[in-house]
A and B are shown apart, each in its own frame.
Chain A
Amino acid sequence: MNRLARWVLGLVFLQAGLSKLHDPWGFAQAVDNYRLLPPAALGLVALFLPALETVVGGTLLLGWLRRGTAWATLGMLLAFELALASALWRGLNISCGCTAGSTTPLWWQLLWDLFLTALALGGLGLFPARSPSAGTPEEDGQNEAQRDSADPASAR
């Protein structure tokens, strides 16, 4: 579960990031369509966000910097969900911009992002059990053990 979640999320983020890094102007327009950011912030966001997706996609696949990667993944997913939800709420008829040239309806993309969030929450060890007596489900404990054995360097 742990490894599968990392690979699925890693591939999704890497693909989304690279496709947008390839066309920063197109992504700047896609971000502008949401009407959430001032024009002066568009350039920075249109470059930095795909770059962060790419970096996090890479560290997810490689299994590096796991705690930071897990939280960055969750943070980005939540930000995307808020943006999508606000666009849906305002009844905007725009394309998601999630990957370059995507034409997926916003509500479908929101469902997909929620699924990815569930995957991240369940599989990336965001909330490691501090002690067995904390009432953590058994499965989480197993994930933890698996994670630690897969990466001996990750001492907490």
Chain B
Amino acid sequence: MTRLGLELWTLLTLAALLGLGVNLGAARPLPLGRPIDLQVGRGPLSLSEAHGYFQLRRAVFVDARSPEEFAAGHIDFAGNLPARELAAYEWQLDKVEKETPLIVYTDARSPGADRSVSLRLVELGYARVYQLPEGLEGWRARGFPLGTGKP
């Protein structure tokens, strides 16, 4: 093996050992080689369960996208907590009980926005936080209603 190859191999081995060591010592190790469940809060929730909550008005829907995207169309009666500027919008939660189910959603353009908003909601003490599976696209594909209704 060339010297360069040997050096690269050494670096990769050291990194593998460091990574495995950190994972062994972690309170919540990452599963290796199989899919990770990255859901935040309660979950999972199916799309039809979410629709059930929607019809009975039992949950508050939270749009995690930007205010502009929210204005262009969202799930009816959803509130907007943009992941990028959460602090400025959190006051809207003042009137929301901690036991209220919160269903956070995003779309394919802003992947992960629902998770980061959910993390904050859990931090704020909300006990029933879910992410909408398949996001806004899934909701739309099922023909579930969109609108401009305020929460």
Contact = CB atoms under 8 A, between A and B. Distances in A.
Interface of A: 21, 24-25, 28-30, 32-35, 38-40, 42-44, 46-48, 50-52, 54-56, 59, 65-69, 71-72, 91-95, 103, 156
A72 B112 contact: no
14 contacts: A28-B36, A29-B38, A29-B115, A38-B35, A42-B30, A42-B38, A43-B33, A47-B20, A47-B32, A51-B15, A54-B18, A68-B7, A92-B110, A93-B110
Interface in B57-82: 65-66
Contact of A72 (B8, B33, B66): B8
Interface string B29-68: 0111111101000000000000000000000000001100
Contact of B10 (A32, A33, A65, A94): A65
B19 A51 contact: yes
B18 A51 contact: yes
Contacts of A55: 11, 14-15, 18
A65 B7 contact: yes
Interface centre among B6, B32, B35 (most CB of A within 10 A): B32
Contacts of B34: 40, 43
Nearest to B7: A68
B49 to A, nearest CB: 22
A71 B65 CA distance: 39
Contacts of B15: 48, 51-52, 54-56
Nearest to B18: A51
Interface residues of B, number: 38
Secondary structure of the B side of the interface? Answer: helix
B4 interface: yes
Contacts of A94: 110-113
A58 to B, nearest CB: 9
Contacts of A66: 7
A148 B9 CA distance: 23
A135 to B, nearest CB: 23
Given A50-B19, A54-B18, A93-B113, A69 B30 contact: no
A51 B16 contact: yes
A59 B18 contact: no
B111 A47 contact: no
A147 B142 CA distance: 63
B28 interface: yes
B19 A42 contact: no
